[in-house]
A and B are shown apart, each in its own frame.
Chain A
Amino acid sequence: MTSFTPFSALLGGVLIGISASILMLADGRIAGISGILGEFLGLRRGETLWRLVFLAGLVAAPLVYVMLGGRPAFDITHSAATLIGGGLLVGFGTRMGNGCTSGHGVCGIARLSQRSFVATVVFTATGAATVFVARHILGA
């Protein structure tokens, strides 16, 4: 069980939107995490450093949140096999589909991209179907 937290959700969402806006205004880039990580891993000529630094900021922020006294809830009970299978699918699928929740779901929809809208509907529907099967049919 997790409780509905509309205010912190909106606040966090606005912060994400501000991050995406500044990255566009200053660097002309889309704040899509799978794209930034995937292109960084590909180590294509140049353009590697800003991606590494962005990812460093992303990883550092929760540390500062904890240092300020925040206690991020973290409930996870998956087996190692589920974590590995899920991770492989998320990595492969986001590169194949050119984006994830941030690149398509936030930045793409904010740009009114038809591709991003379709991708977001598809991954949300498949995610919901997967949860339905796992929780209500297999009873995990």
Chain B
Amino acid sequence: MAKIVVAFVCGFIFGFGLVVAQMTNPEKILNFLDFAGAWDASLAFVMAGAVITAAIGYRLAWRAKMPLFDDSFHLPQKTHVDARLVGGAVLFGIGWGLVGFCPGPALAALSFGGWEAAMFVAAMVAGMLLFDRFSTRIPQFVSAASPRAR
């Protein structure tokens, strides 16, 4: 039960952080990515604040043998850079640059972003399901690329 409460609180703090930082405004993301235009560096400050805080927080968390409400830390096991990682990042980057939404801000914008946010999230969910289908239909691809990092 505590584990579930923590998940809600963390989702809430995360969403609040996104909206406070205005990352839920696609225009602000596009302006960060527009190095040749009226560049808005805000996103770099969001990343710096988040990365430094998480880097300290993780090191404190890992002093314990296990998390408070679970038996182990669930960390990704893959360590080498492969074509699947780079290919996925390329496709994601194109979609991100087209609209100015990545997954977190898109979900957070659902509550005030009107039909545009809803349509984007629906397409994003479809894209995720499509990848699941694609990766299970092509076994060589899965064996080369999985196991799914957790």
Q: Hey, which bits of chain A sit against chain B, CB under 8 A? A: 1-6, 8-31, 33-34, 37-38, 41-42, 49-51, 53-66, 70, 72-76, 78, 80, 82-98, 100-102, 104-115, 118-120, 122-132, 134-136
CA–CA, A28 to B84, complex, Å?
Answer: 26
Whether the Cβ atoms of B78 and A16 lie closer than 8 Å is: no
CA–CA, A89 to B99, complex, Å?
Answer: 10
Q: Hey, which bits of chain B sit against chain A, CB under 8 A? A: 2-4, 6-28, 30-31, 33-38, 40-58, 60-62, 64, 66-70, 72-76, 78-81, 84-104, 106-114, 116-117, 119-132, 134-135, 148-149
A18's contact among B13, B25, B113, B117, by CB below 8 Å, is which? B13
Whether the Cβ atoms of A119 and B89 lie closer than 8 Å is: yes
Whether the Cβ atoms of A127 and B94 lie closer than 8 Å is: yes
By secondary structure, the B interface counts as helix
Whether the Cβ atoms of A58 and B108 lie closer than 8 Å is: yes
Whether the Cβ atoms of A132 and B7 lie closer than 8 Å is: no
B106: chain A residues at CB < 8 Å are: 87, 90
Closest approach, in angstroms, between the C-beta of B61 and any C-beta of chain A? 4
CA–CA, A63 to B24, complex, Å?
Answer: 12
CA–CA, A115 to B82, complex, Å?
Answer: 8
B18: chain A residues at CB < 8 Å are: 12, 16, 58, 61-62
